[in-house]
Chain A
């Protein structure tokens, strides 16, 4: 499992990604330094020029022209350096984002199902998308800002010191005040923001529930109650939002005020020095510009630091995902599973999702080629667990599962999984056309084969009626198809593959019984001579099975065929009788 990364660890890992772009980083830093240096040089030139404009008839035009030319050159170089820096930063930032995302996605494909099942999808998605964005914005932009900010402050200080120590002292003494003020406000408003986001989250959750369950709200005439509760939360939110927004928005005027204090301080002390002849008017104007330039990065730095910390936190979350232990890779000498006839055996299999909650223990099962295994039991008894194990979505804790006598851990996952054709209860279609979804298992299928499979699965007639037939785009989550149609597509997908074995998880539960009858006929044909595992509610399916596994609370309670189980008079018999109970 991934350990918590310390900020230092994260920083070094980030450096690892930046390393690939070291040229861009180098150029960017160089250009940043150049930009800062020239930006600081410009006010000096301006000051020099102003000193040559003294009074009526006292203007040194040739001297001014020389300075103006220097200014023009400095401006040109600064602009070029700025542009180059921006371009380098872009290349670096977007490149790193791309690298991290690619790597993260690769990781997702290798994560064990256990991780995927136990983490909300939204959370993983937000790590790959939002966190990476935040990280890039915060860390890389924050870094440049911090770098130029610090260089600007140091450079300004150095130049101001060479111009006049007294004035510099004034600036150095007053500036931190703005820093303190901003910090003070941020600290004071932190809990207000916290309360605001809490209340906002509460409101969002409420909206989510009420709108999501609007049908129920309306059916039970709960509208007025909902409105009342909404208004109550809304009122609280309004109150704490006002506080949070108002108090935080004091920051800008407050720091602006401190800046104007600095400006005034420089103006007055500068003027006193000028009277004594210590500095020229041009120098004073130059210092005034510096006073402004110096305070700006100061105001920004506190923001940049929080942003950097935030970015590191985001990076930490991304690394956490990327360092998650991947599924056990295929054994080095893993075999290709070939010539599958359909012999599956489970030997003393024990398995549980969480160590302290035992599920399947010492389970034995031997399935001969062509046999049908029905898995039955009440709702939520863990019927899908068997599928998880057969497909090796999860590995057994003890014992082993053999296909054709070979432990499935000794064959490649690919060859094991292609041996099965699987239709799950939750229909899943990817974004793309109908055709793309059908050929998922066999991208090289011909048009005839596709249509034949669709016909066999009774999907052809509805596909034909779609606006663009087989090339109709499926909307997100298959929104433009009914549940039954989605199911038919999933069946077509398997039908096309003609797999050696079948796994059907309540596959036909949302298709009406008449269509299902037709599908079952098609399945019967498909199942002929093929080993199949069926999780089903329907008695007809169960009755025809060679082996019935009766499950309860995750355990396999009974095993046998319909007649023998009825005779036994156990849990299955009870379950079966209940259907005809009045």
Chain B
């Protein structure tokens, strides 16, 4: 938590003033019983109505000053807390955006979202409460005791026993029950998971007729949860009765010693009343403090989780400042003229993912010339996607070099590199907004004409036209209101609209039927611009007409060549092809 406190920096004034005003308010609150003593001992005893009235006015004035102080404190606390969380969110969001795919893989999207939202909110209310109450409550507890001592040392002695005893009980019960509450939460998570599972897997559960077994599992989890809740409940149930006994027991002792002290003439009747009042003030504040500590502990846990995210370093580091790719490019100028035509080249590239034992890519070397179409085919987990992810530097190669236009990708500023590339991912991700908004992601200043052109090539024109509003048609979050094929076609249009030098289709036509897939490839080939296209696919039909096909097998290149060459001399390719076109000869 401490490290996050830097985000309070812009609110130094508020951070200091809020607790100060709170303490001021508390001091006035502590004075009230003393005024009451005056009313009883001087006003009533002396039958001085004017004095009582003046004292009454004094009490109201004290209350009003307290009100003003308190409201001021609330304002400063709210301002500091809200400002703090806004700053924190800004930095956190920026940091998350800088994380590369490796870190995202490890941490997970849903975790990051929770950190950004509910965790930050928890920390915000934690900061707010700390500023408001963390000084006030102990101040009142200690203050009440000090005031009691100024009245009479002997009678006040009971305070020195009561307060520690109360602390032990209140915090003891809390300390015991808090870890138990965590277990309750875990139990709740468990039945939540079962419920969720039974909704997502309703078909499978019913197909295997597992309803009764699932109900049984749920009831078992539920029973454990209830048992745990009742156990914790019994412990927490002790809090009120025990504190009640302690405080009121102390009142009995107070009256008893008070009676002696009055009898001896050390204190007055009114002062006994004041002592009793101070005693009851303590309990209220201690309970508040206990609740506060619960919230603050939660906030601390959240803060630590957020801190963990901050401490995750982005794996892909941008090129050293001041080094532009052009400058870096010049150094390579001496190389062969032929190399100018090379768009992408891999030289002995190896890739090991974070936390993975073995290499996912081993010794990958190939060259893609400008304007060529490169097909990449292979089994699941053979490393097809990994190859294309290295081109825009979503991951960094752990061995060897990846070059774009003859320059190592690590020498480019990230934006410059990625601006050259149009990427269509396996999973089609669209954003809430209109079709137009989504296309603008590809090119911020795209004209209407460019948009329709891109939609036409991606075979999306037809369905966008029939949509109500055309380009202005609404796209729901994640593109939920579109079919899988429609989403894929829109993401392809989004990549095309920026007229990339390199277009990467990472298994991004999987939801398209064969006819649409074929038309799409044809349209891309016929584009005016000379772009280098990478097509990753499991379908032989999608890549068979590529200029060069890279066949991947278990992270290694099993063969590179044209369709005909590979059929001749690459066993893996032949096997794949035959499995999909077994009867082509006969039927076609």
Contact = CB atoms under 8 A, between A and B. Distances in A.
B380 A46 contact: no
18 contacts: A49-B255, A68-B256, A79-B241, A129-B191, A207-B116, A209-B431, A222-B441, A238-B86, A245-B128, A250-B71, A250-B74, A261-B60, A284-B40, A422-B203, A431-B193, A441-B208, A513-B576, A579-B518
Nearest to A276: B47
Interface in B97-133: 97-101, 104, 109, 112-113, 116-117, 128, 132
B429 A215 contact: yes
B262 A580 contact: no
Contact of A511 (B59, B380, B485): B380
Nearest to A88: B237
B22 to A, nearest CB: 10
Contact of B203 (A113, A237, A511): A113
Interface string A254-271: 101100110110011001
A35 B310 CA distance: 51
B533 interface: no
A267 B59 contact: yes
Contacts, number: 434
Given A72-B252, A260-B63, A274-B44, A57 B75 contact: no
Given A82-B241, A220-B423, A256-B70, 6 more contacts: A75-B248, A220-B494, A268-B39, A268-B52, A422-B207, A512-B379
A24 to B, nearest CB: 12
A253 B75 CA distance: 12
Given A46-B255, A212-B429, A543 B97 contact: no
Contact of B64 (A226, A257, A380, A515): A257
A324 to B, nearest CB: 13
Contacts of A261: 60, 63
Given A75-B245, A207-B93, A430-B201, A102 B206 contact: no
Contact of B268 (A55, A75, A83, A493): A55
Contacts of B191: 101, 129
Given A80-B241, A431-B197, A515-B379, A105 B518 contact: no
Given A46-B276, A95-B226, A582 B423 contact: no
B32 A260 contact: yes
Nearest to A493: B208
Contacts of B59: 260, 263-264, 267
Contact of B113 (A90, A208, A241): A208
A125 B112 CA distance: 22
A231 B90 contact: yes
Contact of B90 (A64, A234, A289): A234
A221 B318 CA distance: 13
Most A CB within 10 A of own CB, among B90, B188, B209, B260: B209
A514 B576 contact: yes
B222 A102 contact: yes
B337 to A, nearest CB: 31
A105 B262 contact: no
B582 to A, nearest CB: 5
A29 interface: no
B74 A268 contact: no
B237 A83 contact: yes
A221 B248 contact: no
A216 interface: yes
A531 interface: no
Interface size class of A (residues with CB under 8 A): 35 or more
Chain A contact residues, majority secondary structure: helix
B203 to A, nearest CB: 6
A105 B218 contact: yes
Nearest to B33: A288
A106 B512 contact: no
Contacts of A227: 93-94, 97
A116 interface: yes
Interface string B420-454: 01010100010110000000011010000000000
Nearest to B64: A257
B85 to A, nearest CB: 8
Interface stretch (B228-236, B364-372, B466-474): B228-236
A135 to B, nearest CB: 14
A124 to B, nearest CB: 6
- A-B pairs, top 9 by smallest CB distance, nearest first, are A512-B379, A578-B515, A86-B237, A56-B265, A90-B233, A253-B70, A79-B241, A260-B63, A579-B514
A128 B215 CA distance: 14
B44 A125 contact: no
Contacts of B305: none
Contacts of B242: 79
Nearest to B25: A253
Interface in A39-67: 42, 46, 49-50, 52-59, 61, 64
B306 to A, nearest CB: 14
A513 B379 contact: yes
A540 interface: yes
A109 B192 contact: no
Interface stretch (B140-148, B165-173, B340-348, B476-484): B476-484
A354 interface: no
Interface stretch (B76-84, B327-335, B400-408): B76-84
A91 B226 CA distance: 9
Contacts of A511: 380
A391 interface: yes
A417 B43 contact: no
Nearest to B540: A513
Nearest to B74: A249
A126 to B, nearest CB: 9
Contacts of B209: 413-414, 417-418
B262 A59 contact: yes
Contacts of A207: 93, 113, 116-117
Given A98-B223, A219-B418, A420-B207, A212 B113 contact: yes
A370 B317 CA distance: 60
Contacts of B415: 221
Contacts of B381: 482, 484, 512
B199 interface: yes
B55 to A, nearest CB: 8
B538 A512 contact: yes
B208 A75 contact: no
A448 interface: no
A579 to B, nearest CB: 4
Contacts of A153: none
Contacts of A54: 262, 269
A514 B575 contact: yes
A238 B244 contact: no
